[in-house]
Amino acid sequence: MDPIKIKQCIAGNRLAQKELYESYKVTLFVLCQRYFSDREDALDVLQEGFVKVFRDLHQYDENKGYLISWIKKVFVNTCLEKIRKKKLLFSPISENQHEMESDVDILSELQLKDLTKMIHGLPLGYRTIFNLYVIEGFNHQEISQKLGITESTSKTQLMKAKKMLRSKLEMILK
C-alpha cells in the first residue's frame, strides 16, 4: 500500500481503510486461524486486530519495515491477548521434560492445507507455541515474555506439539 493511502487511512478516510482491509483480510484471517481453530474466535480477533491497526497506524514507520510486517505483529499480539484473556493454561512440566527432540524435517512433504489441519488439531497451548516459534520466528525467551510462562514451558510445549504432529503424520503415512 502506498504512503499516500496510509496517510489517508490515518486521516480516517473510509475508502482508503476499506482498501487496506480488503488487501490484507484473507492473509490476516489465515494468521488468526493458526491460533484459533474456532472460526468465531478467529473472526473476533480479525476484527479486533483491524481496530488496533486503524487506531495505531500513525505509529507505523515505513523506514523500519513493510506495512504488512507491522500489521502481522499487531495481529499476533492481538491473538496472544485473546489467548491470555481466555486464561489459557499451559500443561505443567517436570524437570526431565527439558530434553528436546532433534528437529527431523518430517513435515516437509505435507501439503500446506494438510499441515494447517494438523496444527488446528493441536491443543491451544501447543498450537500457540508452535505458531510463535516455527511460523512467526520468536525464540523461547520472547515467547516466555509474551505469554508469561517460563522458557522451559515454552520448550516443552514445542516438543509436545512436534511429537503430536509427528504422530499424526505417521498415521497418515501408514
Q: What percent of the chain has pLDDT over 90?
A: 61
Backbone angles phi, psi at 30, to 5 degrees: -60, -40
The whole-number average pLDDT for the span 140-160 is 93
Fold of 3-85: Rna Polymerase Sigma Factor; Chain: A (1.10.1740)
- Please report the pLDDT score of residue 89 as a whole number: 53
What burial letters (b/e) apply to 137-172, b meaning 16+ CB within 10 Å?
ebebeebbebbebeeebbbbbbbbbbebbeebbeee
- Note the pLDDT tens digit of each residue in 5-38: 999 999 999 999 999 999 999 999 999 999 988 8
Q: Which of 160, 36, 169 is nearest to 111 (CA)?
A: 169
Domain ranges of the chain: 3-85, 95-173
Opening angle at CA 94, ends 92 and 106, nearest 5: 85
Fold of 95-173: Arc Repressor Mutant, subunit A (1.10.10)
86, pLDDT greater than 90: no
- Please report the pLDDT score of residue 169 as a whole number: 81
CB 164 within 8 A of CB 122: yes
